[in-house]
Structure 1
């Protein structure tokens, strides 16, 4: 199936490895330099059907085997567009659903809007939003805190964009953990493997949390900061699905907040509440499972950064440093 989406906003973006000004030439590729390419024929046809003739294309993929993202200039007005081809139908379905059902709750200019999508190609097309990646262009401390505060606001709105659902059973989750542990075991210590098993058992025994729409990969590299308007946009929804709200705090707590209580505090100012004791227990246990999942996935996909993040999380948990 291929379709165009009738709602078009000029303030749209897509998850990319780095940025100068979105929509302006100069974005560097995830492979280390800007690389002009010829789009694959089927992707070219998809883009041109949606927005007109493609004048140029740049490979903006992340440095892993299953990442396929291009920046294109297309159409009579020579606007900048981003086309992303998902590695699996599941990722594609998640991202399309997120744009249709939950992302609009974040407000105009704060989230991408779909221009076109193709189920057959597992591809989406979005336009560009002005801004920089605070992941690749580290802002000054005052702006870092403001980015975190606004990220808290955006995630609060996303979590409220659909009605809560009762939690799913723990059985399927435990099975998934075991599969990830089997894949990651050659790359982790016996102590880490034991920790993951204990955390999985602990999580299954905790009082369940309601499930809400979650982004699934909330971290700084999936934000865009516009220094002129001082606003944050949230991008990349291929892992969006229902889950506990604390799912979206894992890669923040065990990432930029580590050793930075000012950033943590700014986020919760925007989030509008602190976590309950049960949520904090869920967060710690889920962090261990996210780490082993990342090591398993990153090893297979050749994503060294994801693997490194998983090891850092396990190291912190093994040191007994809780959130």
Structure 2
């Protein structure tokens, strides 16, 4: 039987050459990212790290760029620190964050509002980290266009789970997204803010998992929250944007509505569990009711 924590010898040799002998090694369960991640412990001082391998050279380049050029803006302790990289292995070693995922933390409603307010401040700092080059601006525009272009494919994959009226609604959202051209850009997390937040009782939560980080319209970063948690608990949305420092502009609100609808259809098409598809249906029905479809 294969050891689920198995780490290939060349990769382990590189990690131990960088950190020293390792006494603990545990592969973390797969998340929304295709990256492979191991929790490792250094024998000399029991310091904890994460060893992460990217699924492609492009993903490796994107994430290491994020850790070198944007993540330091969040300040010490608010995100993992990049310790070492290996282009040969598409690997990086990161410091491990304390605490638990925010989604698993048991907090009162008042405490959760405080955490979301502080998370808003953290995300604002990330969004303002660096200025996009002309090439990054073109890529940001292309990224949104690709999201819109994928809507037809996802609607086709869903098939009769969508009525004709619903399909027309989804395609209208995609078309509208294409013409929103004054969306503020920033360096986004890209992987779902809530999933990336960890809470340890510190002054504010920490943020991890930057393998989808890039310059893009900042509204993209709010889709997962708008899709689920904020819809059910709008005071958390208010607290987040209090910390973020500004409310979304009119075009950003339109973009977020479009992006949320497209995400729902993608989840209907690709959802791995009935829960995924049920949440997608709820989000789509909510959007339809907001615009009277």
Structure 1 length as normaliser, TM-score? Answer: 0.77
Asked whether 1:262 is paired with 2:230, we answer no
- Asked if 1:225 corresponds to 2:187, the answer is no
In structure 1, what is the Cα distance between the partners aligned to 2:154 and 2:96? 37
Q: Does 1:182 align with 2:153?
A: yes
Change (3 A) 1:224 1:45: same
1:130-176 CA-partner distances (Å, limit 9, x unpaired): 21212123322122111111111011111111125675386774455
2:84 paired with 1:113: no
Tell me if 1:130 matches 2:130: no
Matched, 1:77 2:77: no
**Alignment match, 2:5:** 37
- State the Cα deviation string for residues 252-276 of structure 1 (Å, max 9, x = none): 1222111212111110110111111
Q: Separation in 1 of the partners of 2:187 and 2:57?
A: 19
Structure 2 counterpart of 1:195? 169
- Which residue in the other structure is 1:12 paired with? none
2:280 and 2:66 mapped to 1: Cα distance? 26
SS at match of 1:82: strand
- Change in Cα spacing, 1:195 to 1:163, as seen in structure 2 (3 Å) is same
* Cα pair 2:100 2:199 within 8 Å, conserved: yes
Q: Residue 158 of structure 1: which of 112, 122, 126 is its match?
A: 126
Q: CA deviation at 1:240?
A: 0.6
Which structure features the higher share of helix residues? 2
The answer to which of 269-278 and 204-213 deviates more is: 204-213
Query: Residue 150 of structure 1 contacts residue 232 of structure 1 at CA under 8 Å; is this kept in 2?
Result: yes
Displacement of 1:284 = 0.8
Answer yes or no: is the 8 Å Cα contact 2:151–2:171 preserved in 1.
no
Residues 41 and 103 (structure 1), Cα distance of their counterparts in 2 relative to 1, 3 Å cut: same
Q: 2 CA distance for matches of 1:171 and 1:82?
A: 32
What is aligned with 1:313? 283
The SS at the match of 2:44 is: coil
Q: Deviations over 1:152-207 (max 9, x none)?
A: 10111111111256753867744554346425633342444333211111111224
Residues paired across the two proteins, number? 284
CA spacing shift, 1:206–1:65, aligned 2, 3 Å: closer
Q: Structure 2: 5+ residue runs without aligned partners?
A: none
Q: 1:211 touches 1:242 (CA, 8 Å); kept in 2?
A: yes
**Is residue 2:214 matched to residue 1:241?**
yes
Cα drift, residue 294 of structure 1: 4.7
Q: 1:91 aligns with which of 47, 59, 76?
A: 59
